[in-house]
Structure 1
Amino acid sequence: MGSSGLRSGTTITSSTSRADQAFTADLESSFDELGYLVGNEPSAVLLVDLSSRGVVHANAVARQLAPGLQLPSPLDVWSDAAGLRDLEGGLLSETTHPLSRLARTEPVNGQAVSALRGSDMGQQRQPLWVVALPMLDSPMLKSYALVVMLPIGRRKEVPPATSLDLHSRAVVATGLSFTLADATDPDLPLVWVNPAFTATTGYTLEESVGRNCRFLQGAGTDPADVDRIRRAVRAGEDVTCTVLNYRKDGTAYWNQVHISPVHGPEGALTHFVGIQTDVTGRIEADRARDAALLAERRARAASEAAEERLQLLVDASSGLVGATDVADAHRRLIDLLVPRVADFALVLGPSGTDDLGVLAAQHSTEKLVGDLRDVADGLAAALVAGPPVDVLVGADGGRLLTDLDTPEGSDTRRDYIADEHYLAASAAFPVRSAVLVPLPGRGPATEVLVLGRSPDRPQFTRDDVEVAADLGRRVGVLVENTRLHELQRSNSEVLQRSLLPDLPVIRGIRSAAQYHAGAVGSQVGGDFYDLTTLADGTIALAVGDVVGHDILAAAAMGQLRGLLRACVHDPDATPSSVIARVERLLVDLQLRTIASMLQVFLTRTPDGWDLVWSCAGHPPLAVRYPDGRVELLGRTDGNDPLIGVGHPDRHEESATLPVGTLLLGYTDGLVERRTESLDLGLHRLLHHVRVGPADPAGLVEHLVEHLTRGSDHDDDIALVAVRLD
């Protein structure tokens, strides 16, 4: 088996010391600690001839500890050359040291020493644990002993060595499996194993000696690990590797193996010493920890995804609630999704005469928005036959498209596109994956949401389809609500305008009027204006406000204005009599209407205009004179009672106005704010009347623009401007 200097004709004796037997009781609980003790650090290995008490073989690390010392060498000489000391600092050659015990063929289960100089094991005074095992049961090495010096403390600082610590580490060191293989034989057969190897593997010394240690390998052993060990052994190098091995009973265990080459006196490679540790517990603990960490990461990722999904739905719901119309709702939706969820987004649906047009489009790359619209515009004509929404989203209520930038992925579009020319032309658009979901309301969906990602972004998954479909259901209802509100608003505006007159063309004056609903509530209300010419040429101007902001107020306003028209054309009518008569008619007709009103009569004179008016709780007229002065005509204290409160007498006021004067009648919504006084609102009104355009239409536009902005504007407004030319 090679190395004739170590051969012996003595018969094999299978003796095991009591110390060797003692360690087996602690072996199972110590295996994990063994792995940390040995780790990946190189160890110093000696083969000692017990008969001559001389070191005959050493590995590279041991030679570093005693550089220049020729082998064979007496054990004490080698110890002094290595500068080995005990923990008190005494030279081992002067004490009862572990090597002296070895010379008496006593096994050393583990004793702390330190080395003089640094080596591959560590720096100077490197703490070492000496394990010395006489190989009395080896068939060819009976008179020899294996000495292994294990490094301690390179990874972490070594705590003070107490007697208990020394004892526990001795048990650990004794639990290590040691093997010796003949390096002169190409098959590297084992020539000795220690009892720990037998306890760990279940194979006896007789079953192990003469065999290559590959008998520990099995189906689960990684060939890469085996190859790594094989290459190191062929090169005569140290190697540490953790491999899956199998015991004699077939059970698997993780074996941390450190193999060190040992050379003889002439430097020839003679043996390989293997130090093996069962680290199954540690590996399984690491795997359990890794599995727990993976499960925790997955749970956290799932939680974050769920939170992100919920936040997306919340943002969509809150973002679309304030939409002014359907187009605004579509814009808000795609702005929410790009680039947060997708690189581009489309809303497709009925548009004009088309069954499927582009209602909204957005791309994170602005220059691609036009190309995106071009691709989407041609989609309707390219679809297979059937309802457009059903064709696009498919039978599952949501379509997932992946690998669209490959020929195979592009082919999947033939499920809903029949036009080959369109397929070829649209294939150039940069998209890798897409999701198509419907936007259903309370009835069948008429719109489709399309989300796309470019090739440089991760593809959509089936989970993304579910999120998009959920979003589509919520958004679809919100868009439908917006559409219904928009329709209601349009109908209300039509109703309101039908109740208000078109201003007539009257010689001698220019006029303009507008009605605006408040920021909240219905588009109809009780604010009104009227302008008409009486039989004698008098011009009658009226502005009023029925209490309320709903359809009932609008209906009451229509009745009130009808009564007003009837009363103002009485030949004997005056502003005050008109208000008084309207109030009596409301009582006679049992119409419970409360309103403010300002009735004005204008009469042309050679020098200008005579103005007579009567007020029923209404804001005063605003006047801008030709020289630019502005003022309010009438009382601002609000003491004129409202119509409908039973006041029999109404007073009148009068004024003479020059040609070129501009009159403004208005309702309180133009000047009142919840957070400020009426005087401040009137002051602001006069300022804008003074700086606004001189023509009635321009002034009305100016006032609406500057006095109806902001959240405080929540009341209806009617205003009419007349220029006396």
Structure 2
Amino acid sequence: MAVADALIADADSDRAEAMRAELTRHGHVVEIVADRDTLLAGIDDERIRLLVLAPTLGAEPVATVLTALRALSHASPAVVVVAGTAEELPADAVRQFAELGAADVWELPHAVTAADVRLRLVLAEFYARLQAENVRVGGEFAILRRALDLTGTGFVLTDPSLDDNPIVYANEAFTTMTGYPLDEIIGRNCRFLQRDVTDPQSIAVMRDAIRDLRPVAVTLRNVRRDGAVFDNEVHIAPVRDERGQVVRFVGVQVDVTAHREGRADRLALAEGSRRLAEAALRRTRFLSEASPRLDATLDRRAALDALALLAVPALGTACLVLSVEGGVVRRDSAAGAGAGVQEALDALPAVRSAEPGDPILRAAGSVDPLPLDSAQAALALSGAAIDGGPLNGLHGFAVPLPARGRTVGVLVILGPAPLGGDDAALAQDLAARAGLAVDNARLYEEQRQVAEQLQRETLPERPLRIPRASVATRYRAGGAGMRVGGDFFDAFEVRDGASLLVIGDVTGKGAAAAALATIARSTLRTAGQYETAPSAVLRTLNVGLLRHRAETSRGRFVSVAAARLTESATGLEATICLAGHPPPVVQRADGSVEVVGRGGTLLGFKDDPALPEETVTLGLRDRLVLFTDGLSEGIESADPDATVAQLVSGHHRRSLDDLADSLLDAAGSGSRIDDVAICVIEVTADGERLLRSV
């Protein structure tokens, strides 16, 4: 049975199960807990990488849970997020919870289920951003821990921008050397190790060097937490950013008590520590520059190309990014140092088969870099030996690209000489960041495709066709991120041959509203096969919405404006029925404007809605304008006294398209941005009809 790498702490079992299903889709193995004690016990497992907390855990607010997590004696590698509905989260949730150690806040929809597309879309967006941000934040400390925790050399970073230049990082060797636990080290100046046995002159030399922002090396007699005295050889150097400003001091500390009589041993230890610190800082600088470039795009191809270009020439002279599926290896991107190497890489097979034992298959099934000698490098490049050319005789590594518990590709880095162990570690760190960037792009693409499909289902596939009328339609979703909305429109023939033009608005925005808009549009079309009156068609939709609410214990309301259009001797007869929807506007051929239709009841609200009908005669060149409240509210937010009728009146003699475009522009002119749909028809002579695209 797989070991959990994510915990969900939420007493709401339905929501927790929905979250479990979505996180499992992202590659996590998830365990659900419902109380703080179980949570704190579970976080002791270093394999836990993600912790999702509800705003309250039983009767306990999440702030106290976050405080308890911070008070743990060990540093957990888990990323902590708080997830809840807008009503459960305080107004300043991001700031408040970030100060307590949370990496992000997820705002979830109400009453989600494991099959609910709302959770999938909302959480995919938050999760992708969280993972990308988590790679950048803390990257420096992750590298230093990895490089230094297993050494016998104490290593600290201090922050001169803070009062008294306190320690902001210390490795495990420093805690072992001094006997102080980490919580008694962080935030203190290093002088807490000094006592009356410490030489004042050495202290002065070290203090002056720090004040002058220059390196220094001294040997001090320090005192451990238990009172034992030890000789501490200290090397301090300033660390500058790209502007030359000192942002940290590095302190390398070696216990030379047993070697104080052996100068050569001391120098060897100090030199090894210096090289180790320089290597760690070099890797930190490289990865701090690489991460923004990898995170700068949500296009998978661009992310792969950025990865290949980052590796050359920093890590080698040739780099390939490969994907593996079954026994097939595909080249996704390649970069070479120089035109000759690039041409040779481009000439390699874009797709090749891989036999068992192929280095790429082995790397894809591993978690560590796979060293490649020249023969194995040739197999990794082309599946066969390479005879001559700039790729002949290269050595390097094949590194898996991990993301959310799976491998999304293999990074191959090659050079003319065998690459060192530090190069392999740096390549592995780069691969970890790149794997997430590539997978984030995949998630974004999936989310975009789902959003586009949802939106396509809310709108007609072809321009609307109405006898003796030209039609112009416009649509714009007002949601953030993957823009989908709950507004819809359609025109279709009802049972007696008349045309029914409908425009509607589902309460809310985003994927959930779009999904219900699709159902509403389909229901209206079906009802039109059996009914002729617009009120009867809308009553059928009302029954469906009430049933949906009863079966799911949740629901949304829908407003609709329906116009039954029949041909007459002079033009069209329009029978208007409104269900909680803004009334349409008629613009006569002479430029005069009137508002038509009588208010009715919102659908999905009650069993017997009021749905009055009103008939209007439309003559040649008269126009009927139907719209959703995204237009009226957008106009009013810019000018409280403005109305849609006034705006339409000001566009007399403009073309149908110009009128529709002007209305859409006006909807976005104010402070309130919502979904908006607009349908404008103009009565034409027999045989004259223009179709306008959305």
Higher Rg of the two aligned structures: 1
TM-score by length of 2: 0.45
